[in-house]
Amino acid sequence: MGRKYQVISGDGHIEIPPEGFVKYVPDEWRDRAPRLIHLPEGGEAWLIEGKPMLRNGQNIAGRDKVKFSGGTYFNPDGSPAEGAGPAEQRLREQDLDGIDAEVLFPPVFVTRFLEGILDSEIYRSMIRAYNTFLADDYCSVAPDRLIGNAVIPVSGIDHAIDELEFVAERGLRSVSFYQFPNGSGYSAPEDDRFWELAQELNIRLSPHFGFGEVRPPAINPGTGTSGEPFANALTQRAGSHAPVYCMAQLIAAGVFTRFENIQFYFAETNASWLPSSLYFMDDNYDLFHDWFKVDLPAKPSELILKHCHFGIIRDPVIFDMPDLIAWDNIMWGSDFPHSVGSFPDSQEFIEDAFNKVDSSIRSQVLLENPANFFGLDLEADITETPVE
Alpha-carbon distance values, 187 to 152, 213, 303 (Å): 16, 10, 17
Edge-to-edge order in the sheet of strand 44-47: 35-38, 44-47, 54-55
pLDDT of residue 314: 86
Type of residue at 22: V
pLDDT of residue 226: 39
pLDDT of residue 220: 55
What residues does 331 pair with on adjacent strands?
311
The pTM of the full predicted model, rounded to 2 decimals, is 0.94
pLDDT of residue 387: 86
Backbone angles phi, psi at 319, to 5 degrees: -75, -10
CA 135 – CA 147 distance, rounded (Å): 10
pLDDT of residue 62: 85
Write down the domain spans for the chain.
8-13+86-374
Contact 46, 53 (CB under 8 A): yes
Spatial neighbors of 27 by CB under 8 A, at least 6 apart, are none
Contact 257, 296 (CB under 8 A): yes
CA 388 – CA 367 distance, rounded (Å): 27
Topology, domain 8-13+86-374 = TIM Barrel (3.20.20)
Q: Among 9, 8, 30, 13, which Cα is nearest to 21's?
A: 30
pLDDT of residue 219: 58
Element housing 101 (H / E):
strand 101-105
pLDDT of residue 223: 43
Q: Which residues of the chain have pLDDT under 50?
A: 221-227
Spatial neighbors of 211 by CB under 8 A, at least 6 apart, are 177, 178, 179, 180, 246
Contact 288, 238 (CB under 8 A): no
Model pLDDT for residues 185-219, shown as the tens digit of each residue: 999 999 999 999 999 999 999 999 899 988 877 65
pLDDT of residue 230: 86
pLDDT of residue 112: 83
